[in-house]
Chain A
Amino acid sequence: MSTYDKASLVLIPSGTKEGIVFSQKPTNGDGDFTFTRASSATRVNSDGLIEKETQNLLLQSNTFDTTWIASGTISATSGQSGYDGNSDAWLLTKSTAYAYTYQNVSSGLRTISVYAKAGSLNWLYILKGGNSGQYFNLASGVLGGSAGASPIDANITSVGGGWYRCSLTYIDGFSGSLRIYPADGDGDVSGTSGSIYIQDAQLNQGLVADSYLETTTTAVYGGITDNIPRLDYTDASCPSLKLEPQRTNLVTNSEYVLDYGQNTADITLSTNLSPEGVKNCWRVEGTASGLRVGIATFSAVTGQTYTGSVYVRKISGSDTATITDIDNNSQTINITTEWQRFSVTKTAVDYIGRVYVLVDNIGDVIEVYGFQLEESSYPTSYIPTYGASVTFASDGCEKTSASDLIGQTEGTILCEINVSTKVLPSSWAFSLNDGTTSNYIGLRRSGSSNFFTHINVSGTTSALIDTGINNGIHKIAIAYASNDIQVYVDGSSVGTDTSSGIPSTSIIELGDLVSNRYLDDSVKQFILFKTRLSNEELADLTTI
């Protein structure tokens, strides 16, 4: 019988669904944790890539005779043979000049995509009203001309059978119509008849067309959306459960670098892959006109600490570059051809916030992605923004009514955490509590201190044992019984207490105590035993 067989609860984060983190034990679901986060978020996935929320903001994305509005005389006929081998495509036929079908959409950085095939007409025209338009040649598979504001990007990609996925990326400060036209030629929608085939339209945030999501009466969201737990693989082959507090990215366009008023270098959309694994990073080359990419358009609060961060990699030239803090002080960074996230923290003395990256010399080329400025002394997970500052809500993970899983008079807690040095007012890796801050057993730190085992009984500290850790991956075991507390870290005893009482508890919280005392790091495993294990067992369990 292994020690793990004695456990009443085993949570090694690996299985999740919306609102739930599954425990391996008990196997009947009684040990599953409730997970909450009132917003989307990002994580590093098992491929080492940043993963975000995905979405399709269009309604009735493949039902073009519902919700879609006709301008002029235009009809959509279902049941056509589509790019995916099904009969889900539509024939879009116009009977008057300049006819189009459209939906009204909100403002921001957006990419519209639709699968299309030539019919009696060979051209597709997509237009964001009052903004950017792009013609697509469905006979040859090449881009035609654009109209209005220059599109940020446009692509036409063959998917076989004469079908193409056509996409247009634009930024617009105004809501308005998003239009699909059967077109007569490059720059010409004046014909009074003709048709093309279309299927699976999508509007998503950002610079690239995401994988298609079907919608009906409401927008659809996928990826790391509201209440989806984050199994994070940052610098690790095994996942850990990311638990962060509320944070706001003050940069209003974290990925659209051309929006920044302080650019002086030559900046173009790169054809290389970003830390997301898609083509949404920017090539920055130092020229005689300047060396900088960056933003300084928001107000900071004097006396508040801010952290700016950005992903940077070298393409050619110097092995160093410069990042500036919120008050425009420079710091040299060592760059390689691999993506790295750099950050700089400073307490503001000015009310103008800045995040700049500068290449060292004229001719140096770097790539940048994901600008972030947050009110914090360290960077949190990347928060993408597309026209407005964005706040990600805090993560919450708890198991209530857990009295039967917790040893009430004696027990053992094993927790493996992945933490980094940071300053937080009160930060809890976990707590067993009764819904108050009077009775608990937990692992916490305050300020920049080490993590402490903290036992409170009836509002009074009963035991406080320094674990000696504040950074890195560690296994901590806390064995408890009346007047018998023993703490092991990474295979060794770090402290005891022989006078502590044991509180009655019924709630298990990961990354918090009751509310707003967030870990802001990751938990790799959490295991409860209803007996006080032997010191030898504690050593075995915590040996890394």
Chain B
Amino acid sequence: MKVFRKYQFGSKSAATTKINALGIDEEGNPTHNNAIVRLGNLVVTPAEIDAEGNVITEAVLTDTYHVDVLWDGEPNPDWDAQMVWPNPDILGVHVFGSSKAIAEYMEKVKELHPEYFPDPEENVDLP
């Protein structure tokens, strides 16, 4: 079973320490079968870019450092303190391309945060 979870760290180095603790060999290759994606500092406000593609106003990024993991089995409990459940509509910037893992993740989000999934009557009706 593969389990998709999202994590938030205070810094890149804090994330790296946690990732390396999962195991690396002498060449720096992971010795585990978990898939890890460093999202880094997320974009809060996109950069403003001119017609030539040049940056006019720099983007605003989060101070926090974000990592997504596709665990090979149950999530490592040592990571629980950094686990986050962002609103998938707003902060779901990345997913693993595993339909089963996404489905399990979404069910867990619904269980923990039903407010993320309002009834249709709360939507704007447009018939």
Contact = CB atoms under 8 A, between A and B. Distances in A.
A272 interface: no
Contacts of A130: 123-124, 126
Interface in A104-137: 104, 106-107, 125, 127, 129-131, 133
A437 B27 CA distance: 11
Interface string B31-49: 1010101011111001101
A105 to B, nearest CB: 10
Given A246-B35, A290-B51, A352-B49, A40 B126 contact: no
Interface string A44-62: 0000000001010000000
A189 interface: yes
Given A130-B124, A175-B88, A393-B35, A296 B101 contact: no
A356 B53 contact: yes
Contacts of A383: 97
Interface string A270-307: 00000000000000000000101010111101000000
Contacts of A147: 126-127
Contacts of A173: 89-90
Nearest to A330: B53
Interface string B106-117: 100000000011
A129 B125 CA distance: 6
B92 A133 contact: no
B100 to A, nearest CB: 6
A387 B102 CA distance: 14
Contacts of B117: 104, 175
B89 A175 contact: yes
B13 interface: no
A390 B97 contact: yes
B46 to A, nearest CB: 5
B91 to A, nearest CB: 10
Contacts of B96: 38-39, 390-391, 393
Contacts of A14: none
A176 B99 contact: no
Contacts of A106: 88, 106
A126 B49 CA distance: 37
A79 B95 CA distance: 40
A106 B89 CA distance: 8
A53 B46 CA distance: 31
A426 interface: yes
Contacts of A264: 51
Give the residue among A147, A189, A389 with the most B Cβ atoms within 10 A.
Answer: A389
A393 B97 contact: yes
Contact of A174 (B55, B59, B61, B89): B89
Contacts of B97: 39-41, 53, 383, 390-393
Interface residues of B, number: 54
Contact of B123 (A177, A294, A299): A177
A125 B127 contact: yes
Contacts of B39: 389
A85 B15 CA distance: 58
Given A391-B94, A393-B97, A299 B103 contact: no
Given A226-B98, A391-B35, A515-B30, A129 B49 contact: no
Contacts, number: 154
B120 interface: yes
A354 B50 CA distance: 13
Interface residues of A, number: 69
Contacts of A462: none
Contacts of B28: 425
A257 B79 CA distance: 37
A217 B36 CA distance: 30
Contacts of B70: 38-39, 391, 393
A387 B91 CA distance: 11
Given A125-B127, A173-B89, A226-B99, A261 B53 contact: no
Given A173-B89, A175-B117, A38 B101 contact: yes
Contacts of B116: 175
Contacts of A125: 127
Contacts of A356: 53
A133 B127 contact: yes
B99 A40 contact: yes
A328 interface: yes
A325 B97 CA distance: 25
Contacts of A517: 29
A53 B37 CA distance: 21
B76 interface: no
A515 B103 CA distance: 27
A426 B27 contact: yes
Interface in A361-404: 383, 387-394
Given A176-B123, A218-B103, A394-B35, A296 B93 contact: no
A404 to B, nearest CB: 26
Shortest beta-carbon contacts, A-B, top 10: A177-B120, A130-B123, A148-B126, A129-B123, A39-B97, A516-B29, A389-B94, A39-B98, A328-B53, A38-B2
28 contacts: A38-B70, A38-B72, A38-B96, A40-B99, A53-B97, A98-B127, A102-B120, A107-B89, A127-B127, A129-B124, A130-B124, A130-B126, A148-B124, A173-B90, A177-B120, A181-B127, A246-B35, A262-B49, A296-B49, A297-B47, A299-B41, A299-B42, A299-B61, A328-B53, A328-B54, A389-B95, A392-B97, A517-B29
Given A225-B99, A383-B97, A391-B37, 8 more contacts: A39-B98, A129-B123, A129-B124, A176-B120, A177-B120, A299-B42, A328-B52, A328-B53
